[in-house]
A and B are shown apart, each in its own frame.
Chain A
Amino acid sequence: MKTAPPAAPSASAADMRLLRQALTHVDDDKLRRIAAVVDSTADPAVNMAVLEPLRARLGPLHPPRLLRLPRLLFLPFDPIMVEAKAWRAEEPLVPRSAVMPVTDLVRTALGTDAAEIEALIAGRDTADVEVVAQAGGMLWPKAAAVAASASTPPPAWAESGLPGAAFQPLLLGMATVWRRAVRLRVLARDRLLDAMKASQKMVEELLADTPAESPLGCAMIARLILLQAPSAAPFVRLFANAATNRADQAILHKALVQSVTCVAASLDQTDAFWERIGKAPLEDAGDVARGLVSLLTQLEEDPGGHVPPPRLLAMRDGLNRACLARFADGLNNGVTAPLQQASEPLSAASQGALEDTARDLRMLETAARPLGGGGEYDALLEAATRAVHDGGVRGTLSRMGEIRLTEILAGPEAALSLYRAGAS
């Protein structure tokens, strides 16, 4: 009798181990590129096997990820997704191992609707906000209906490693969120765009009936609002206080307290801020800093006083140091060093890239300045402005290139002086 060659599967597993080991040492840029390549493979198992150990590093890097049905389906839960081992049934979190079984359940129930959505998102990524909004608007309400009526776990649930008893409460919680996912997304994007004040009406509509639907879902929504749109959090409190049903009021208050304490605990961890600010791409760092400043403000203004002032002070200090370090690093590597290393006049594309970097840095600095460190920021900006001036003297920068970078880094007055000096 011939025996099957054992080498192939075990070699593959060994290769995978080696690959994972190698991946733990790659730099952030390479990691982003690897994620893009792995995303392009259609097999979710490959995706899981390669990227699972790297998720903690990948998260703060915010790389645009290829849109597939599982990713789109769970996009509303992004800030509360955790590894299965970190998941606790009583906490408003979603274990990542539930993604594939739940997606299969939804995909089967949706039938041709799922195929239509998959066709819409084919080749698009998470940065394509228009497609996410459109496809999410088609998917999430339907997924809510499927999840709300799912009473027994599908056979694939076993692969999640989660207890069978967790299935229904989790699915009911997900249904509660999916039903409101479109508005939650608008609320989160409102925060990012920063143009509109948080809408009390939108929060009220988001929270209506949540405790009755699923207390876990209600807690998920409270935490998602706190993390993604902190300035809307006071409206959650107002809504809870206004609830006429005492049971609902208790559920909402519990959801609020749980959100505040858990979020505060996550910010207490060593390097919590550096993980968020330091690893974020520079174009996102300012938005992340704004979000964290707003989050800390909400924790400080929490009338329950669930986070003691000394802890809050330590958090502010941690955030300030992380922002300053990211700013200094970004200024050096993104502006000063490229200017000093350039031996020829910069192309229009390079000038544009320098301006983009300088703007991203000013956004980070403007967001972080209220935390302190004004003198340090000024000194760093002055040094960078000198490097820009040297670039102008050496001919690396055109006259207008120097003026524009000076304007971004040192302000319009400094740029005007330079402009006048050149004109005279």
Chain B
Amino acid sequence: MSSGSSTSSVRQYHPATFLERGVAIPFTTPLLYGTRARPGQRNGAELIIPNPSGGRGVYIMSWASMAQLCTPTLHDRIFNEQIALLPSVTPASIRRVARKIALEGLAGDQAMEAADAAIAAEATDRTVTNYELLMRLVDQVAASPNAPFSARGHDTRDAARRARLTADFVSRLLGRSPDWLATALEQLADIITPFGTGTNDARARLPRVAARLRGVRKELANWSEAQVEEGLIEHCRVILALADVTLALADDVLKQAQELTGDVIELLRQWDANQDSIAERAARPDWLLDGWEQISLIWSHARDDAARRAAVAEIVALTPVMPKEVDGWLGGAEAANDILRFRRLVPLNEDWRTGAVAFKLVARNETFRALAA
């Protein structure tokens, strides 16, 4: 592999924003695992690929330059074509592409079934969120001084009547039609489903990703205490520091996002005034936690000391750096990046991800596709 040409030289990577950090793409090619995509300076997306040697820095290149680095799987080639068609690269849009491709069977039967199940589960979750938003609205209206009905009862027909009355009441309040209100609640359900309604909702996908990361963080901290190799210990320290910053921020942004549903009337008012602003706040947890699910999977897949050593060496190159913008949100976030930048190196086998074991790694990455559908 050449590192001398302009397209494939290792570069430092200090993203200013989450968009610039890019979105983690669940590629199955071993050398491309942990790759991120972001809008390119010219046409199409730019790919940010962890340094395959396990060293510092990343490769930033277009898909066309990829041939210099490796031979991507068919799954990744089609994935890349789909990325090029996206109007915007976000964690949510990449997840939709990933599921679409998995449904074709390009990542195997297991991933196909998992994608199918995930799509069905998400549709159900959206319906539940939509219902919960409506019920919150009913409760809010019922508690208001000029409510068109008394406190909430248990009779289903009565509940339906109250919902209708609530829709009429809120529509009038916002100066919108009941149809607009129904559509708005559906749209809000779409963006709220990933983190759930109300504070401390642990059922939704993103709180589960955060909980899983917390578990991995604890296991890694315990494991690292028994290690003797300085390089590995330092790698653990880097991963733990960035996991800590991410988790501290995740608690904040998840709480802020979940609080959106504390006052549904106000949420609808803001949605009416500026949809982008609400969507941006709601998407923060997804951007923040992006990439950590893959890391959690690598760690959980390692069953013994040797596998955990390899996992740590792989994870450290994938650990999402904190964009500069978060330093204002939480002091010390940028300092966590510094230890990533100046970490000691633990050399990886050069042909690990391109030699015989690559076939095993593709199968592993396809299993991860099924586990993180």
Contact = CB atoms under 8 A, between A and B. Distances in A.
Interface of A: 129-130, 132-133, 182, 185-186, 188-190, 192-197, 199, 201-202, 205, 286, 289-290, 348, 351-352, 355-356, 359-360, 362-364, 366-367, 398, 400-401, 403-404, 407-408, 411-412, 415-416, 419
B233 to A, nearest CB: 12
Nearest to B109: A348
Given A130-B304, A201-B229, A362-B359, A195 B349 contact: yes
A130 B223 CA distance: 13
Interface string B307-336: 101100110000000000000000000000
B49 interface: no
B313 A363 contact: no
Contacts of B304: 129-130, 132-133, 189
B359 A366 contact: yes
B74 A186 contact: no
B281 interface: no
A133 B305 CA distance: 7
A195 B305 contact: no
9 contacts: A194-B349, A196-B347, A363-B360, A366-B356, A367-B355, A403-B74, A408-B359, A412-B77, A419-B74
A194 B305 contact: no
A290 B356 contact: yes
A407 B73 contact: yes
Given A363-B360, A412-B74, 19 more contacts: A133-B304, A186-B306, A189-B304, A193-B307, A193-B310, A194-B352, A195-B314, A195-B349, A197-B348, A197-B349, A202-B229, A205-B228, A352-B109, A352-B110, A360-B359, A363-B356, A367-B356, A404-B106, A408-B359
B198 interface: no
B78 interface: yes
Given A186-B305, A359-B360, A199 B313 contact: no
B93 interface: no
B157 interface: no
Contacts, number: 108
A416 B74 contact: yes
Nearest to A414: B74
Contacts of B104: 400
B346 interface: yes
A186 B356 contact: no
B262 interface: no
Interface residues of B, number: 36
Contact of B348 (A186, A195, A202, A404): A195
Nearest to B350: A197
B71 A411 contact: yes
A415 B74 contact: yes
Nearest to B29: A412
Q: Is chain A's interface secondary structure helix, strand, loop, or mixed overall?
A: helix
A195 B360 contact: no
Contacts of A364: 356
Contacts of A190: 306, 309-310
Contacts of A408: 359
Contacts of B229: 199, 201-202
A185 B314 CA distance: 20
Contact of A196 (B77, B78, B105, B348): B348
Contacts of A290: 356
Contact of A363 (B105, B314, B359): B359
Contacts of A412: 71-74, 77
B357 interface: yes
B363 interface: yes
B109 A351 contact: yes
A400 B352 contact: no
Interface in B326-373: 346-349, 352, 355-360, 362-363
B360 A196 contact: no
Contacts of A196: 309-310, 313, 346-349
Given A205-B228, A400-B106, A193 B306 contact: yes
A352 B348 CA distance: 30
B303 interface: yes
A359 B310 CA distance: 21
A129 B363 contact: no
A331 B322 CA distance: 48
Contacts of B44: none
A400 B228 contact: no
B347 A195 contact: no
B108 interface: yes
Contact of A195 (B71, B78, B109, B313): B313
Nearest to A198: B349
A192 B355 CA distance: 13
Given A400-B106, A404-B108, A412-B73, A189 B359 contact: no
Contact of B355 (A129, A201, A366): A366
B306 A185 contact: yes
B352 to A, nearest CB: 5
Contacts of B78: 419
A359 B361 CA distance: 10
A407 to B, nearest CB: 5
A193 B307 CA distance: 7
B329 to A, nearest CB: 35
Nearest to B106: A400
A201 B227 CA distance: 12
Contacts of A186: 305-306, 309
Contacts of A194: 349, 352, 355-357
Given A194-B352, A366-B356, A355 B108 contact: yes
Contacts of B362: 359
A355 B363 CA distance: 9
Interface-central residue, A195, A286, A360, by most chain B CB under 10 Å: A195
A193 B310 CA distance: 8
A398 B109 CA distance: 11
A101 to B, nearest CB: 30
B108 A416 contact: no
Contacts of B110: 352
A192 B352 CA distance: 11
Interface-central residue, B77, B105, B352, B356, by most chain A CB under 10 Å: B356
A182 B226 CA distance: 12
B248 to A, nearest CB: 30
